[in-house]
Every structure is written in C-alpha cells, then in structure tokens.
Structure 1
Amino acid sequence: MSTTPLKIITSIILLVLSLTACNSPAAISGTLAGLEKENTKIYLIQPETLQQVAASYLGKVIDSAIVNADGSFEFQNLPTTKEPVLLELAVQPTNKAGNYLNSDNPNKANYMPIVWQSGESFLITARFNEFQKTFTIENPSDLNSALLAVRDIKAKAYQTYLADKHWNVEDGDELMAKEHATLQYKSALMEFADSTPYLLPALVALRWVSPENDYERVPEFLVNQCAKWKEKEADHPWVKQLCKKSEPTNLPVLIGDKFPDIQFPLLSKDTVYIKDVLGKKLTIIDLWASWCAPCRLENRKVLVPLYNEYHDQGLQIVAYALESDEAAWKAAATRDGADGWLQSSDLQGDDAPFLKKIRVRTIPANFILDSNGVVIAKNLHGQDLMNLVKGSFEK
C-alpha cells in the first residue's frame, strides 16, 4: 500500500512540531537546593480572589512538579491569559496539602508570589528550607523585582521587630509592647503598598500585613489603598474586592470621622450622649475591662495622671467597659482610680451593643476626639498617648 506525498509531508510537520515542543524551555523552571528527601514536590498555586493571596489552603493548585535528584524542576501548565497574573510557588516540607502556605516566619516561609504573563520564561533558584528568603528569578521583570523588594522589606522588618522576641502576654506592659512591635512590622509593609506603582505587589504587601484578613487596627490603610487603586485600576476584580472590604460599614470608626453620638449608660445609672459630655479641648473614648491587664495598667499609669493634670483645662475621658459583672467593674474602676471620669457599660460583655456600633472587637482601644467630636487619633497608648495629650494642651 503506497503512501501519498501529502500524508508524508503531514507526518513530517507533526514530527517537527512534536520535537520542538519537547525541546522548548519550560515556562517556569528552576533548581531547589538543600533537599531533605527524594521526590519532593513543588506546587504552582493560583489565588482566585484577593482573600486567597498569601492564605493557606485557599489558592487553587494548577500544577505540581517532582523535584529531581539534582534539584531541578519545571512547570508547563500555566494560565492562558494576556494580563499579568499572580501565582504562588510552594514547597511542602511535610505531608501538607499543596496549597499550604506558612506565613508565620519569613525566614521559614515555604512559598513565594510571582507575577507571570503568557510568553514569559522564569528561571528560579531557592533553598528548600528557606524558600521565600532565598528565592531568586533570573532577570526579573519590574513587577517581580517589586515582589522581591517587598519580600526583603518584610524579612528585614520581621528581623528588627519580631524575630526571637518572647512576650509574656499575661503581663500588660509586655502585651502592649508586642502590639507596638507588630504594628511597626506591619507599617513597613504598608509603606511599600502606599508607595509602589504596581498593583499586584501592593496587594501582596496588603495581604502580608494580615494573612488572617484582620485589619481592625489599620483600617485607614485599607481605605487609602482602595482610593489609590480605584483611581488607577477600577475594573480589576481584586480592587473591587478591596474596596468592598474597605466600606465604612465594615470598618471601625476612622480617623477624620465624627464619632457617633451614642447614648452611654453610666455606672451612676444616668445616661449621656457623647455630644453632651465632650471635653472643651480633647475627649478620650477608652475601651477597657476589669479582666484586661494592659487596660488596668493604662488606667493607673496613663489615664489617671492625664486626667488629674488636664481635666480642668478641657480633657474629658469617657470609658466603656466590656463587663457582665457590675460589682467587678465598679471594684476595678475604684481600685485603679478610674472612677473619677465617666464610666459606662451595657453589662453585656463582649456582646456589647456599643462595640457593634463602632465596629470594634479588640481591647484595649481608644479614640481621641477634638472639641467637635471628630476623631484625630486612635489606639494610642502609654507614652504615645501622653505625648499627644500634653502636646495638645501645651502648644
């Protein structure tokens, strides 16, 4: 049986295409050093929503590769998209799922975000046990250079503020020191997000600020990020998700907002509205509880001295206690000397309606208001709070 010339030509073309495909470089490939065992896998993960970025078990695994004995690996199964897409590469040191991401310690983080576009080829190197810390890309794009930069910023901030620190959280001073150090760490990432011209690296920094997706202590950061990217890339689905999360009904009262004129039930059994008890100069709305160690220290070391020195000059303090036991509340206020200022509670513990109205879940917390009831600062404690109050009265 003879073969027609057309069939021969077709077979040759198919063979050439097959050989070309087999010899073409992988879209993402690299070498992993320091392997602990054979047949280690590396995974390619695609976050499908903003919340899935840098979040464990949420991103979609789109490919995996066995790391060869010489440490080499390669991926071929990449998304078909013309737009830049954020992906995450992750190695699994244990029998964890492919999309497990360790964000607790940058020195040991097992994943690294990258931005990939169709037609690009990546050559990657990293060490197995320090994957994020040692991750490099040969000739990275501007977007990936920005991701490597924020990775370095995060690592440096962690080393400066959090590494090898051991706080006794039952001690009020140490708990507040831990919160302050954590805020300093987050501030480095927030500064990057505010300054970078690149959306996806900014959103990675935003998610690294809180992999737990809790921005209660830094809601103004979310609002600023929404405003920035809504102006530049309003149609990006992750920008829309960011702006949804930063809506006022989802966040605590913000700096610059007028504090809600809420009615307070006082320890004295009277009720007052905020607008009727504002200080002539400043008002501190203080959220505390008898069982909150740092709150009790703040009462004695900060609020009592400030109140004694500046109340007659126009400082007001209105405290709201997360209490369910009136006797315990009254005893704590008396013992701390905090019964000199207005004390309020609905005696519903953590289910307090006041907290729901101002959308706060964590104490100690405070809002500092000007004479018109506008929030000029919040969540300042210790020396920071004392400096603000003294500066307001002594300038």
Structure 2
Amino acid sequence: MRTIPIKNTAGLILLALTLIACHSPGYISGRLEGAEKKDIKVYLIEPETLREVAASYFGKVIDSAVVNSDGSFEFHNLPETKEPVLLELTVQLSGKAPNYLQSEDPIRSNYMPILWQLGEPVQITAKADEFQKSFSIENPSEINKALLNLRDVNEKAHQTYLAGKHWQIKDGSQLLEKEHAILQYQTELIKFADSTQYLMPALVALRWVSTENHYERVPEFLVNQCNKWKKKQPGHPWVNQLCKESDPSELPVLAGDVFPNLKFPLLTKDTLSLKELLGNKLTIIDLWASWCAPCRKENREILVPVWDKYHDQGLQIVSYGLESDESAWREAAERDGADQWFQASDLQGDDAPFLKKIRIQTIPANFILDDKGVVVAKNIHGKALTDLVKSYMEKE
C-alpha cells in the first residue's frame, strides 16, 4: 500500500475545502430577538410575478424554519438559479398563513424583502415584534443596502404623513386631506424608485406605493419606471409586466398629453367639444358630483373665487358631474355658484362614459389644461389649485 506524504494530504484537504467553498450555495440564517417564548416560525417566500411582490397571501412558500430557543433559525431550501432572486422573509405566529404580510404599518410589519444570490450567505438579525423596522444584514450587498435604505425611507414617510392620522371620511369632509397625505407618502417612495440604479429595490418601491395595484393618481410614475428599466434591463419578465401595466392607453390621461377632444353634453342641453370650450389661457376640467362633499366644498371655496377673479382674463372651467338625477345636479350647481361655468353630464351616474374615455374612477379629480389643451397639472385641489391658477394666469 502506497503512503501519501502528510504535506500532500494537507494540500489535498485545502484544495477540497476551497472547491466546496467555491460551489457552496450559501445560506440564509439569522437570530430573532424576542422569540424565545413564542410559537414562531420564519418563512421564505418567492414572488413569481411583479404583482406578488409585497402582496399578502401571494408568492410561493419555498422554505420554513423553526425559531430555536436561542432565537436562531436557518433556511436550507434555497433557489439554485444563478440569477439574483428577490425573496421575502416573513415571521408568523402559530396559526397564521406563511405568506400573510402585515404591510400597513412599517414598524409592525412582519416581512422584509432581500436579494438572494447563489453562493452569497446572508446573516440576519431582527426583533420578532418589529421585524421589518429592526431587520439588519451582516455585510449586505449593494442591492440589499438599497433595500434597507428603501425600508428606512418607507418608515420615515409613513411616520411623517400617515401614522396616527384619523380622517373623517364617512361624510367625505376630509377625503382630500387623506388623499393629499397618501400622495405625500407615495412621493417619497417615487423619488427613491426614480433615483435608484437597482431594479429590484425600484420594483419593491413601486409595489409599496400601492400594494393594491391602484395607480390612478400616479400613472406617470408607472410610465417613467417602464421607460427607465426597459432601457437598463430589457427582457426582464417583471419589467415586461410593468410596461404592460403602464401602457398609456390603459391609464388616465397623463400630464403632458393633449386632453382628448371629447363631446360635453351640457346642462343647457347643448353639446360642445372640448376645443369649443377651451379658455384663452387656462382650462380646468373638474370631475365632481352633487353627492360628493369635498367636491361641493371645492366648488364654493376654490372654484367660485378663481372664476370670479380670472375668468375675464382667459380662465375657463368645465365641470363634468357623475349624476343620474338632473334636478339634484342642477340644484347643487346653482347652490354652490358653479352654474356660472359650463356644467356637463351624461346623467348615467357611475357608468359615465366620459370617465371611461379618460380612464378615471375616482372623484374629486381635475385636469388643468393650457390654451392648446395640453395637461399642465392634475388633481390639484384647495389652496394649491388657487396658487397654480394665480401663478399661471399672472405670469407674463
């Protein structure tokens, strides 16, 4: 029997360990603080489509890990693809579905997205009851740093604009205040998505803007993200899905577009096209209803004053009502003083064909057009609308 020299044996062992390290799939493991006395599991979720990102009860459960008495856990069933994969870790109490995501409050949120790369181990620490807020990764990759940064942006924006707010919306009186706060929150995430150089953090930000996939108020954001990523990562399936959703023909009329030259059936029984109604300088297309409290308030407190001040200088207002009762519509317009400008409606209520043509479902809404009919602003209300009209009408 031939004896292998000790020094050669050591070299072979070192070579074997090196080869194992080079081909190791890596791992995802961590320690969960505050989980020692709770019946807790940690799950690994793989979103398979863009809409499944940050969406409760969606995504494929690919692994689970029992949290040990010392808070430690480790996943073993990891994707073997060479391409980076977006995964979501969730913490669940016994009885909860693995892919149940508490995404409303970032402080208490029970999940966190990360990017998994074959061969790169991920070591995590977090608190059980503040999982997303406290989530950290030892020596994170640049993309995971971006995801952690997005987490911080999301939390700060939520705390600034949404946390602890209670709006009276049963009577609609504070609906616009709530919408404005939501838009301010969304704007912080939009800024992040527009500025990041990494696709997956941008797409997570996009989904956090609206986990319900409702972008009616910010359709330009979808279009901008599609244009950005189809240049940087053409062919990526999630980019293709994004661009399909951001087809302008499926979205509300965008800022910068020429507003369609639609027909307006007026309260006076005339029917005129938009081109026949445009103001010499500025036109407000206002979408309202007699039963809409914030719309009525906008009529009285904003539109009447700007009409009185600027109509003779080239301001036009065309209001379209979601109405089915002509007498209620006429009475509301007269009571608010909104009968001074053009009032239009097909009197088909929520089935209004005009709103379908411009792909709008939510009121109050408005489009501000220049003298050529180009949309220069959208969904501006209250003092902001007054200021915009004043600035535009008084500029030289």
Task: Provide TM-score, normalisation by structure 2.
Answer: 0.92
Report what 2:8 is aligned to: none
Report what 2:29 is aligned to: 29
What is the Cα deviation at residue 83 of structure 1?
A: 1.1
User: Could you tell me how far apart the structure 1 residues matched to 2:25 and 2:78 are?
Assistant: 13
Note the alpha carbon deviations across 1:127-163, whole angstroms, 9 max, x for none: 1111000000000000000000000000000111111
User: Could you tell me how far apart the structure 2 residues matched to 1:243 and 1:96 are?
Assistant: 34
User: Could you tell me how far apart the structure 1 residues matched to 2:362 and 2:36 are?
Assistant: 42
What is the Cα deviation at residue 324 of structure 1?
A: 1.0
Report what 1:116 is aligned to: 116
Report what 2:284 is aligned to: 284
What is the Cα deviation at residue 169 of structure 1?
A: 1.2
- Structure 1 segment 67-106 matched on structure 2, within 5 A: 67-93=67-93, 95-106=95-106
- Structure 1 segment 82-231 matched on structure 2, within 5 A: 82-93=82-93, 95-170=95-170, 172-231=172-231
What is the letter of the counterpart of residue 189 of structure 1? L
Q: Is the CA contact 1:38–1:68 (under 8 Å) kept in the aligned structure 2?
A: no
Aligned-pair Cα RMSD in Å: 1.7
User: Could you tell me how far apart the structure 1 residues matched to 2:192 and 2:283 are?
Assistant: 33
SS class of match (1:77) = coil
User: Could you tell me how far apart the structure 2 residues matched to 1:118 and 1:26 are?
Assistant: 6
Q: Is the CA contact 2:36–2:69 (under 8 Å) kept in the aligned structure 1?
A: no
Q: Are residues 1:240 and 2:240 paired?
A: yes
Note the alpha carbon deviations across 1:297-338, whole angstroms, 9 max, x for none: 000000000111111111110000001111111111111111
SS class of match (2:298) = helix
User: Could you tell me how far apart the structure 1 residues matched to 2:91 and 2:38 are?
Assistant: 13
User: Could you tell me how far apart the structure 2 residues matched to 1:389 and 1:26 are?
Assistant: 59
What is the Cα deviation at residue 248 of structure 1?
A: 1.0
What is the Cα deviation at residue 250 of structure 1?
A: 1.5
What is the Cα deviation at residue 212 of structure 1?
A: 0.4
What is the letter of the counterpart of residue 305 of structure 2? P
Note the alpha carbon deviations across 1:24-77, whole angstroms, 9 max, x for none: 896000011112754411100000000000001111101111111111100011
User: Could you tell me how far apart the structure 1 residues matched to 2:32 and 2:324 are?
Assistant: 56
- Structure 1 segment 253-272 matched on structure 2, within 5 A: 253-272=253-272
Note the alpha carbon deviations across 1:101-130, whole angstroms, 9 max, x for none: 111111111100000110011110111111
**In percent, how many aligned pairs have the same letter?**
69
User: Could you tell me how far apart the structure 2 residues matched to 1:185 and 1:142 are?
Assistant: 25
Cα distance, 1:285–1:43 mapped onto 2, change above 3 Å: same
User: Could you tell me how far apart the structure 2 residues matched to 1:25 and 1:66 are?
Assistant: 21
Q: Is the CA contact 1:26–1:76 (under 8 Å) kept in the aligned structure 2?
A: no
Unaligned runs of 5+ in 2: 1-12
Report what 2:4 is aligned to: none
Report what 1:6 is aligned to: none
Report what 2:9 is aligned to: none
What is the Cα deviation at residue 174 of structure 1?
A: 2.2
User: Could you tell me how far apart the structure 2 residues matched to 1:162 and 1:37 are?
Assistant: 32
SS class of match (2:174) = helix
Q: Is the CA contact 1:168–1:175 (under 8 Å) kept in the aligned structure 2?
A: yes
What is the Cα deviation at residue 365 of structure 1?
A: 0.2
Cα distance, 1:81–1:87 mapped onto 2, change above 3 Å: same
What is the Cα deviation at residue 96 of structure 1?
A: 2.2
What is the letter of the counterpart of residue 373 of structure 2? G
User: Could you tell me how far apart the structure 1 residues matched to 2:357 and 2:87 are?
Assistant: 38
Cα distance, 1:76–1:388 mapped onto 2, change above 3 Å: same
Unaligned runs of 5+ in 1: 1-12
SS class of match (1:362) = coil
Report what 2:365 is aligned to: 365
What is the letter of the counterpart of residue 321 of structure 1? G
User: Could you tell me how far apart the structure 2 residues matched to 1:79 and 1:47 are?
Assistant: 12
SS class of match (2:163) = coil
Q: Are residues 1:301 and 2:301 paired?
A: yes
Q: Is the CA contact 2:36–2:68 (under 8 Å) kept in the aligned structure 1?
A: no
Report what 2:343 is aligned to: 343
